Structure 1
Amino acid sequence: MKKTLPASQPADLPASSESRQGERSKASSNKASSNKAPSSKASAKKPSSFYMKQMRAGLSAAGYVKHETWVLPENRSVLKHIEKKLRQPLIGSAPVLENDMIAGENWTIDRLFSALQALDEVTSNEIGLSLIQGAEPSIKLEMHDFGGLPIYIAVVGEQIIVDTVLVDLESINDVARFNDAVLRSREMFPLSSIGIESMPNGQTVYNMFGALSASSNLTNVVTEVKTLVDNVQRATEAFESFFN
């Protein structure tokens, strides 16, 4: 009797050349699909409005408020300068716009003295203020809430130096150990350093001081003074065992 093959080809028989070609085409198509570049939507650059929104959110989170202002076109640059000033906190009644200070101009000792006179702490006599004339004029502040602690400010070239005497050499009971402790205290007193200086009368003292640019705004100058006062208190407590 003549046998006939089933209608469907057994799975273990080799595929026809047409079938193999179709499978290769399908595999190539799948590989090409997997290597496609990311969609234009995923790789598109963010618009400028996105970054502006981020900036406004950051300013709002920092506590700033938006205020619309109308000015002449030629005054836009002036307004931007004033805006930066108004983002700084007021200290007492200090003139935040610093009318006696041109942007980018260095302070002179006379202009700085006049600006400091407007502070609430000075007008209420919490801080005594005097101008010391001499070969190198300086400003003396007496911190009445801290026992009259004297702080001196000098404008030296491109810098403003704020300093005070921490202790005189004769008052140290172990100079070597004290010097070692001072050299290891760099991180204890932010914005301030300690150095040795010979006074005009021949006395050797340890000064605590800070320095900032002579073009710094008034807020930063006052912050430097207050930071120095805080650091003097901390240094006195930290090094108390070295003092006679």
Structure 2
Amino acid sequence: MVLNPMTGSHKSPVKSKANKTAPGKAVPKTSAFYMRRMRDALYAAGYVKHEAYVLPENKLVLKEMEKRLRQPLIAGTFKMESYMTAGNTWSTKRLFDALSAVDIDTLGDVHIVLIEGAEQAIRIEMNDFGGLPIFIVVAGEQIIVDTLLVGTEGVADEHGFNDAVLRSREMFPLSSIGIETMPNGESAYNMFGALSASSTVTNVVTEILTLAENVQRAVVAFDQFFRK
């Protein structure tokens, strides 16, 4: 189940074919675009990449440490914010209000908007990930966290890509990759996660950050299959 950022429904936009896009029509950007922009910005600022392996429950601590380590000097101690427990099932609006109140040191530099429509949806632009857009909706007993990975027309070898995706289960904790047929008949690969609609804000934040990190990892892992 995925979201369409234009309507707030459970569909995501797909990338239009560059050579067939009508004049003046914006071409949706894929996750690869945002990841390249993020990496370019970090490299230009003089940062270096260093891979680390930690326990799942320590990922938020590592994320906060990473942000501190991007400063010339480190002062003070690291600490985690306390998050409320939902207590009962979230609505999309209540979840939007809770996420809007999360500290920037925890969720990162983001821009959050509530999309009104037949069904409300939350759009989060992950500025620490090049502006990667992530969409969230509360659907029944689940919270769906979703983003476009690539349109099928952006994959040079669909058979090889599908095989690689099916073998990648352990590469992307908390996230899955699915293919959706859009209303216009085109298809797209989306990366998404799902959790209980009564989850704590801490767990929702973890799901959001994990999805963004998994998209970054997927763009690198599957780069050979994407059209340039």
User: TM-score surpassing 0.5?
Assistant: yes
Structure 1's 130 and 123: CA in aligned 2 closer, same or farther, altered over 3 A?
farther
Please give the alpha-carbon distance, in whole angstroms, between the structure 2 residues aligned to 1:116 and 1:234.
24
Q: Indicate if the aligned counterparts of 2:84 and 2:200 stay in contact, CA closer than 8 A.
A: no
Which residue of 161, 177, 184 maps to 2:160? 177
Residues 67-119 of structure 1 deviation map (CA, whole Å, 9 limit, x = unaligned): xxxxxxxxxxxxxxxxxxxxxx844xxx6235xx4x2x100011101111112
Q: Indicate if the aligned counterparts of 2:107 and 2:205 stay in contact, CA closer than 8 A.
A: no
Q: Identify which of structures 1 and 2 has the higher relative contact order when contacts are C-alpha pairs closer than 8 Å and 6+ apart.
A: 2
Please give the alpha-carbon distance, in whole angstroms, between the structure 1 residues aligned to 2:119 and 2:153.
27
Number of residue pairs matched by the alignment: 149
Please give the alpha-carbon distance, in whole angstroms, between the structure 2 residues aligned to 1:191 and 1:125.
19
Q: Does 1:97 align with 2:95?
A: no
Counterpart in the other structure of 1:218: 201
Counterpart AA for 1:160: I
Counterpart in the other structure of 1:162: 145
Q: Does 1:188 align with 2:175?
A: no
Alignment of 1:8-23 (within 5 A): none
Please give the alpha-carbon distance, in whole angstroms, between the structure 2 residues aligned to 1:136 and 1:222.
21
Counterpart in the other structure of 2:54: none
Q: CA deviation at 1:133?
A: 1.0
Q: CA deviation at 1:201?
A: 3.9
Counting helix residues as a fraction of each chain, which structure ranks higher?
1
Q: Does 1:136 align with 2:123?
A: no
Which structure: larger Rg?
1
Q: Indicate if the aligned counterparts of 1:117 and 1:123 stay in contact, CA closer than 8 A.
A: no
Counterpart in the other structure of 1:109: 92
Residues 109-157 of structure 1 deviation map (CA, whole Å, 9 limit, x = unaligned): 1110111111222999810000011122110000111111000011010
Please give the alpha-carbon distance, in whole angstroms, between the structure 1 residues aligned to 2:107 and 2:143.
25
SS at match of 2:174: coil
SS at match of 1:119: coil
Counterpart AA for 1:158: E
Counterpart in the other structure of 1:229: 212
Greater mean alpha carbon deviation, residues 106-115 or residues 120-129: 120-129
- TM value normalised by structure 1: 0.57
Counterpart AA for 2:225: F
- Alignment root-mean-square deviation, CA: 2.1
- TM value normalised by structure 2: 0.61
Structure 1's 146 and 167: CA in aligned 2 closer, same or farther, altered over 3 A?
same
Please give the alpha-carbon distance, in whole angstroms, between the structure 1 residues aligned to 2:107 and 2:212.
19
Q: Indicate if the aligned counterparts of 2:96 and 2:114 stay in contact, CA closer than 8 A.
A: yes
Q: Indicate if the aligned counterparts of 2:108 and 2:128 stay in contact, CA closer than 8 A.
A: no
Structure 1's 96 and 125: CA in aligned 2 closer, same or farther, altered over 3 A?
closer
Q: CA deviation at 1:229?
A: 0.6
Please give the alpha-carbon distance, in whole angstroms, between the structure 1 residues aligned to 2:118 and 2:182.
15
